Chain A
Amino acid sequence: MKICVLVKEVPDAAVEKRIDPSTGRMDRSGERNLNPYDTHAIEAAMQIKEGGAVEVDEIVAVTMGPASAVRALHKAVSLGADRSVHLSDDALAGSDVAATGYALAQTLERESPDLVLLGQQSDDGECYTIGAVLADHLRMPSLTQVIKMDVVEGKLTCERQAEYGYDTVEIRTPAVISVGDAINEPRYPSLKAIMGAKKKPLEALGAGDVGVDISKVGAEGSQVDCGTFKAPPAKQAGTIIEDEDTIETVGKIVAWLDERKLI
């Protein structure tokens, strides 16, 4: 079985957020890192490989993004992927979800994976939808938010929480699965793996290499135009208490609750 894991480079959430005063928008520049949700997808691939129920030939990390995104690939490889693929092209800049999914599908088409794994959401995009877009292009069955997955040759048994409780779904591979963050506890890379990551094969591809029709990607090719932005309705900022003396803190909380007749 061949597994492709999709990974993305996102702004590091641990870095303090800053609103750009000129635009009123969140400043997302600064440190970037592997999307934390994707580490669960890599771990899921590793557990299938180590589980022994099926033979895993290869785990391939795939990303679409600017030059800096190679760091996300190095991280993915340090967590266990055997090699990686980087789709990068100026023509892809500004692609919406559907266009991104299409370009990634074209890239995956060349790999013919038996299983494509994704994280549940990208920390910056928050679309939770790339998996479903991919699956339709790849003509594969798909499920998102999977928190338990049993794999045998040709078949996956997946559990996930949907609107009415937990569902159990059986899927015949090849398939596209996005995993929820409760599926596993990702391992930390060893120092040796971090050092060795840059030596593993990394294939850099442009849109033309994977047969992406340029008219369907980028800002021009995207079907949604989200050009205008506005600030959300102003909300009265809440009171913030830094807990230093806990007795004092709880005194303030009790007074606050009491004032509002909540106790």
Chain B
Amino acid sequence: MMNEKTVRILLVEDNPGDARLLRIFLAEAGSTTMELTHFGCMSDAASHLQGGEVDVVLLDLGLPDAQGLGAVRQVHAIAPGVPLVVLTGLDDETTAAQALQEGAQDYLIKGQIESHGLRRALRYAMERQRMQVETEQIRKQQLQLKDEFLSHVSHELRSPLTAIYQFVSILVDGLAGELRPEQSEYLRLTLRNVRQLESMIADLLEVTRVQTGKLNIEPQRASLSDAITDTVHMFEGSVAAKGITLSANIPADLPLAYLDPSRVRQVLINLVSNAIKFTAQGGEIKLQTRIFEEDPGLLVVEIADTGCGIKPEVSKLIFDRLYQATDAGEHGRKGLGLGLYISKELVARQGGSIWVRSEPQKGSSFFFTVPIFSLASLIGPILTNEVKPDDAIAVLVVEMDSQDGWLSPDVRIAMSNVARALLQRCLLPDLDVVLPKMDSGDAQELFFAVACTNKQGAEVMSRRVREQFRRSERLQQAGLTFTVSCSFLPPILRNVNEPMGEFVGHVAAGVQELINTMIIARSVPA
């Protein structure tokens, strides 16, 4: 019970007279024992506060080493969960009010403090803090409940949808007898709506994943042009049907990007299908990509349409969750308003951004960026200023091969994701990094890991990686064999005068060379 527990008060007050007075007030009879610890300045109080043995803080706002709101913020930074009551002078209610906005629970005016009021203020402060924490917990629980509910509902909706899809497609395919052209047309229309419903459910689930942090993104060294070309092919039928032209302009020398191909395709599909939806017959949709003018480390994709455009006041809102065009009427049915929100999340999680430029009645251009692949930028984080003389860079090559040729190349690519996840499991955070699949020039799948650690550490890691691969049932089930080999870059000592950026570049070049030699060595038959 609150009444029986000793309340531990931290008083931070530089005026000995004020401190003495407060101590006297608190010592006066009361049902709760109050234990006062007093410090005259913030730096001493801070170390006591860090110890965690404080139930409530009484803080003077005119300390020698911390004043006003700065003092409030310092206390909050050290102990965000501890309730705070500030002490101010009669003439300083403005600061007191600001302190409340910064999260202080209450303020007391010096000279007007008396025993009961002081005790009440402290107790209220603690109680309010407790209630705030509780409210926050309830809010989080409710959010989680909502996500679980959404996820549950979406799955339950899938069952009847499955039955509808099955039977409509049975009719369309003539498995239940021949149809008249008109009947066939209406059933196809039904199927189209089933698909729409299905993609809405998929969007709902994707949003719950975004909000629960379960969105899975696997960036790798990949071609952005491939993703764009695939998307254009995918929509050839629907643009032809609507009388719109769709084209892509991709420079031949576009550098490779660092992205998750299926996630980038998801974004492209979303943006292109939006463009088709809002562009009238005879209109045009153009896809373009280039190195981003404002940041040479990024590629930018532009999807430009000649559709109805977006009003300036609306263009900021369209990436928000559940936003939808209010005048979508003539362009068909509204969706759930989740597509652009999901796209924004997907792009951001791959290190890019998304935006729109638009002119009503003329058309819209959507832009998004993805990082250009760079070995140096991947290796960079593991190279610090304290590179030791015996630090070796280990390059681990994992090579996969299918035993019986049962799996298609595509399946092997999918299995490569499994392998990469396994590899990742063996690495030390911050010290090692997995490099994405790189072109090897032959059909075999190859993966590389780089570790910045001492030679011994790298050998241990290489053993662990082998062990993990041996144990993976998934890889064995898929009939894949693998070999793991490990090589070392000679220890590289950093020249004191060499800027870090250049050093990283040198190491990256060394790693690239090592990878190349390993690939060449492996492609020569024994």
Instruction: Verify that A and B bind, or say they do not.
Output: no
Chain A residues packing against B (C-beta within 8 Å): none
